Amino acid sequence: MKNDASAPSDFALSRRRLLGFGLAFAGAAAFNLVPGFQLLASAQASVPASAQKIADHFSSVKSMSGEFVQFGPKGEQSGGKFFLERPGKIRFNYDGASNFKVISDGTSVVILNKKLNTSDLYPLSKTPLKLLLDDRIDLSGGRVKSVKQEDDLTTIQLADKSVFGNSKITMMFDPKSSELRQWTITDAQGKDTTVMIFNVKEGVSFAADTFAIDYTANRELNTKTR
């Protein structure tokens, strides 16, 4: 998997496709994720204690960094490095000539493409990434759409229709270590983007500007391009 990340294809990520990963984070069809889910009977259905334990462990990891491979709705592949700081902060530095970056500062998410000279800004609260980056991933209530437990994988699907419509996020954890392995974000059109992470380090420190968004530059750029 590391070899794939070191030389990802340089494809033009569309704004809609990036938002599909909540933005950015395929392939439920490729990985056949959805058909195996055990759907919870209702919003009040009992969540397995082991699943909540895994979610609590992931929530307790306040910072991490590593590498990622991303698969788009048509099997497109790219990769790069990511940095996460809870609550609400994440950054993806994509490899390739497009020099894509996706940054969340805890309030907003910006999608930067220096090659195309674009900077698109969205509220974090309106993307499924919010569920991934919350201070605590609470599996109680109607946000849990499915939980599937297997010997080698625990899959948890979350959605919040009142916040971001029909989009949803599916997270896959190692049941022994409780470590996050990958997630799939399904957008409102039913298109999936999957991100697999590896070489992960936890408890890391970041420079003060790692998750900074230049709102002035964003505003000026979008004013010029109107």
Record the tokens describing residue 13, joined without a space: 């990520």
pTM > 0.85: yes or no: no
Residue 78 CB contacts under 8 Å (≥ 6 apart), including other chains = 8, 9, 10, 11, 13, 69, 70, 72, 94, 95, 96, 100
Quick one: pLDDT at residue 225?
62
Q: What is the pLDDT of residues 69-113, one digit of tens each?
A: 999 999 899 999 999 999 999 999 999 877 899 999 999 999 999
- Cα-Cα end-to-end distance for the chain: 41
Confidence of residue 50 (pLDDT cuts 50, 70, 90): confident
Nearest Cα to Cα of residue 152 among 172, 132, 182: 172
Q: What is the pLDDT of residues 165-222, one digit of tens each?
A: 888 899 999 999 999 999 999 988 899 999 999 999 999 999 999 999 999 999 998 8
Quick one: pLDDT at residue 99?
82
